[in-house]
Amino acid sequence: MKNSIQEEFIATVSHELRTPLTSIRGFSQTLLSSWDKINDEDKKKFIKIIEEQSQRLINLVENILSVSKSNAEIQVLKKVDVNSSIKKIFPLFIEQYKNHIFKLNLQNNLPPARLDEDKFQQVMTNLIDNAAKYSEEGKTVEIITKIQNNNILIQVKDSGVGIRKEDFDKIFKKFSRLENHLTSRTQGNGLGLYITKEIVEKMSGKISFTSEIGKGTVFEVVFPFYNEEEVLKCSHQS
Q: Least distance (Å) from ligand ATP to the CB of residue 30?
A: 27
For the chain, the C-alpha Rg in angstroms (whole number) is 20
- Based on CB atoms, which residue is closest to ligand ATP, 145 or 217? 217
- Based on CB atoms, which residue is closest to ligand ATP, 38 or 218? 218
Q: Least distance (Å) from Mg ion to the CB of residue 172?
A: 11
Q: How far apart are CA 63 and CA 61, in angstroms?
A: 5
Q: How far apart are CA 103 and CA 88, in angstroms?
A: 14
Q: Residue of minimal CB distance from ligand ATP? A: 192
- Based on CB atoms, which residue is closest to ligand ATP, 31 or 178? 178
Number of chain residues interacting with Mg ion (CB under 5 A):
2
Pick the piece of the chain touching Mg ion (CB under 5 A) from 25-33, 38-46, 49-57, 188-196.
Answer: 188-196
Q: Is 196 in the site for Mg ion (CB under 5 A)?
A: no
Q: Is 192 in the site for Mg ion (CB under 5 A)?
A: yes
Closest CA to 82 of 208, 222, 196, 181: 222
- Interacting residue ranges for ligand ATP, rule: CB under 6 A: 63, 126, 130-131, 134, 158, 160-163, 171, 176-178, 180, 183, 188-194, 217
Applying the rule CB under 5 A, the residues between 112 and 171 that interact with Mg ion are 130
Cβ density class 78-111: b for 16+ within 10 Å, e for less:
eebebbebbeeeeeebeebbeebebeeeeeeebb
- Based on CB atoms, which residue is closest to ligand ATP, 67 or 110? 67
What string of DSSP letters covers 147-182?
EETTEEEEEEEE-SS---GGGGGGTTSTT----SHH
Strand partners, 215: none
Which of the 8 DSSP states describes residue 75?
Answer: -
- Based on CB atoms, which residue is closest to ligand ATP, 152 or 193? 193
Which of the 8 DSSP states describes residue 35?
Answer: G
Q: Is 66 in the site for Mg ion (CB under 5 A)?
A: no
Tell me which of Mg ion, ligand ATP, none is bound by residue 13, counting a contact when its beta carbon lies within the kind-specific cut-off of 5 to 8 angstroms: none
Q: Least distance (Å) from Mg ion to the CB of residue 125?
A: 9
Q: Residue of minimal CB distance from Mg ion? A: 192
- Based on CB atoms, which residue is closest to Mg ion, 113 or 128? 128
Give the H/E segment covering residue 185: helix 181-185
Q: How far apart are CA 120 and CA 72, in angstroms?
A: 12
Which residue ranges make up the site for Mg ion (CB under 5 A)?
130, 192
